[in-house]
């Protein structure tokens, strides 16, 4: 085969506030690759099918943050790709892989030695759309599952408040909470998403935090045994004030301040004292070895059986990666933001 285009998507400058795709990113269509003849150097070659665009990527653009991207670097994130050629025994041509990869059409993995655990072959016995392995059956679903198991510690009859409830992490937390017998309150940023939470996911109460008072809605719902925090800022402060005795707060994300917005000061920490509230940060990667087998044995099957519903927001074309990220950061996505390489 003659060389074919191998476009990639680069980070070229740090944003101040929300990213500006035209300024901060570059779609580089100049590169080519010869998939049949490129030297694998003992590694393997993959062709990208789907890429995941996630809120944490905004943090990677700020110098000095954990694992920040370097100027000129090709974006990296979770993806689903197909093995085109392989010189490693673990992966065969045609295998579908899930793992962290560059945002490009073809990826050559030559420095493979010892890095096999970074990839997982997706057997997909449940015949799910492969993109689902980036959402509810991927890192965000794991975040929900691992976080509830390790920090949320739910018991039937308890109550939970989930912020950003209509996003992929929130949807998963809400549905597990219902399945485990909890009473669920969700907040989200549009009436359409509120309707989805109430009518499709069947959670007990949901409200639009842009048009209702979070303080009043939480008070009306009653005391909280668990607060799942995707947002931080004022929402966290309201939750702190309404926690029940020995309540748990899972600090999963702080999206209200990812773009340098002013975080409103937390005033209600003292409520944790008499109520003996536990508040703990969650990092999905560190819980992987503990829960990964249980997760893959449970979640894809529940999705196949219709016990877990999901929504996706799919955009076609690598050149749109930056716009998709902005959409996620502004709450314009409805469900898991996925970048599909081709029609």
Ligand X SMILES: NC(=O)c1ccc[n+]([C@@H]2O[C@H](COP(=O)([O-])OP(=O)(O)OC[C@H]3O[C@@H](n4cnc5c(N)ncnc54)[C@H](OP(=O)(O)O)[C@@H]3O)[C@@H](O)[C@H]2O)c1
What the block records as the tokens of 325 is 């990220």
Residue 284 near ligand X by CB under 6 A: yes
Residue 162 near ligand X by CB under 6 A: no
Q: State how far the Cα of 163 lies from the Cα of 103, in Å rounded to an integer.
A: 29
Binding-residue pattern over the window 68 to 107 for ligand X, x denoting contact by CB under 6 A? ----------------------------------------
- The CB density around residue 56, as the number of other CB atoms within 10 Å, is 15
Among 80, 231, 236, 299, binds ligand X (CB under 6 A): 231
Nearest CB to ligand X, comparing residues 86 and 233: 233
Contact segment (CB under 6 A) with ligand X among 70-78, 106-114, 166-174, 211-219 equals 166-174
What the block records as the tokens of 243 is 């926690």
Among 260, 283, 290, 294, binds ligand X (CB under 6 A): 283
- The CB density around residue 7, as the number of other CB atoms within 10 Å, is 18
Residue 184 near ligand X by CB under 6 A: no
Residue 197 near ligand X by CB under 6 A: no
Residue 56 near ligand X by CB under 6 A: yes
What the block records as the tokens of 139 is 């890192």
Q: What is 135-193 written as a DSSP string?
A: TTTSHHHHHHHHHIIIII---TT-EEEETTTTSHHHHHHHHHHHHTT-EEEEEESSHHH
Residue 132 near ligand X by CB under 6 A: no
Among 35, 189, 223, 317, binds ligand X (CB under 6 A): 189
Residue 50 three-state SS = strand
Q: Which residues of 154-170 are buried (b: 16+ CB within 10 A; e: fewer)?
A: beeebbbbbbbbbbbbb
What the block records as the tokens of 182 is 């909890």
Residues 322-341 that bind ligand X (CB under 6 A): 328, 331, 333
Residue 152 near ligand X by CB under 6 A: no
Residue 282 near ligand X by CB under 6 A: yes
Among 143, 177, 214, 242, binds ligand X (CB under 6 A): 143
- Axis crossing angle, helix 288-304 with helix 139-147, rounded to the nearest 10: 110
Residue 188 near ligand X by CB under 6 A: yes
Among 43, 167, 247, 322, binds ligand X (CB under 6 A): 167
- Which residue matches tokens 């979770």? 78
Indicate the length of the chain as a whole number.
343
Chain contacts with ligand X (rule: CB under 6 A): 54-56, 140, 143, 164, 166-170, 188-190, 193, 230-231, 252-253, 255-256, 282-284, 328, 331, 333
């Amino acid at each position: 085969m003659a060389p074919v285009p191998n476009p990639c998507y680069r980070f070229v400058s740090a944003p101040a506030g929300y990213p500006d795709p035209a300024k901060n990113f570059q779609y580089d269509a100049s590169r080519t690759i010869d998939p049949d003849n490129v030297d694998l150097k003992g590694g393997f070659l993959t062709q990208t099918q789907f890429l995941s665009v996630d809120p944490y990527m905004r943090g990677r653009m700020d110098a000095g943050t954990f694992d920040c991207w370097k100027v000129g670097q090709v974006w990296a994130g979770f993806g689903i790709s197909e093995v085109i050629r392989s010189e490693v025994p673990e992966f065969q041509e045609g295998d579908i892989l899930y793992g962290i990869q560059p945002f490009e059409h073809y990826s050559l993995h030559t420095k493979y030695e010892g890095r096999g655990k970074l990839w997982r072959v997706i057997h997909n016995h449940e015949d799910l759309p492969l993109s689902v392995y980036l959402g509810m059956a991927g890192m965000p679903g794991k975040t929900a599952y691992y976080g509830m198991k390790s920090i949320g510690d739910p018991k039937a009859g308890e109550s939970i408040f989930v912020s950003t409830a209509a996003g992929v992490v929130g949807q998963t937390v809400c549905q597990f909470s219902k399945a485990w017998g909890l009473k669920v309150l969700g907040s989200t940023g549009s009436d359409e998403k509120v309707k989805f939470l109430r009518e499709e996911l069947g959670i007990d109460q949901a409200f639009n935090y842009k048009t209702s008072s979070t303080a009043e809605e939480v008070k009306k719902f009653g005391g909280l045994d668990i607060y799942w925090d995707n947002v931080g800022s004022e929402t966290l402060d309201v939750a702190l004030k309404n926690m029940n005795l020995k309540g748990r707060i899972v600090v999963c994300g702080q999206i209200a301040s990812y773009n340098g917005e002013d975080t409103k000061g937390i005033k209600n920490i003292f409520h944790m004292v008499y109520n003996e509230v536990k508040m703990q940060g969650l990092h999905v990667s560190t819980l992987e070895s503990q829960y990964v087998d249980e997760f893959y044995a449970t979640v894809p099957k529940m999705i196949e059986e219709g016990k877990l519903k999901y929504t996706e927001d799919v955009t076609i074309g690598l050149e749109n990666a930056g716009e998709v990220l902005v959409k996620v950061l502004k709450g314009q996505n409805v469900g898991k933001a996925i970048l599909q390489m081709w029609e």
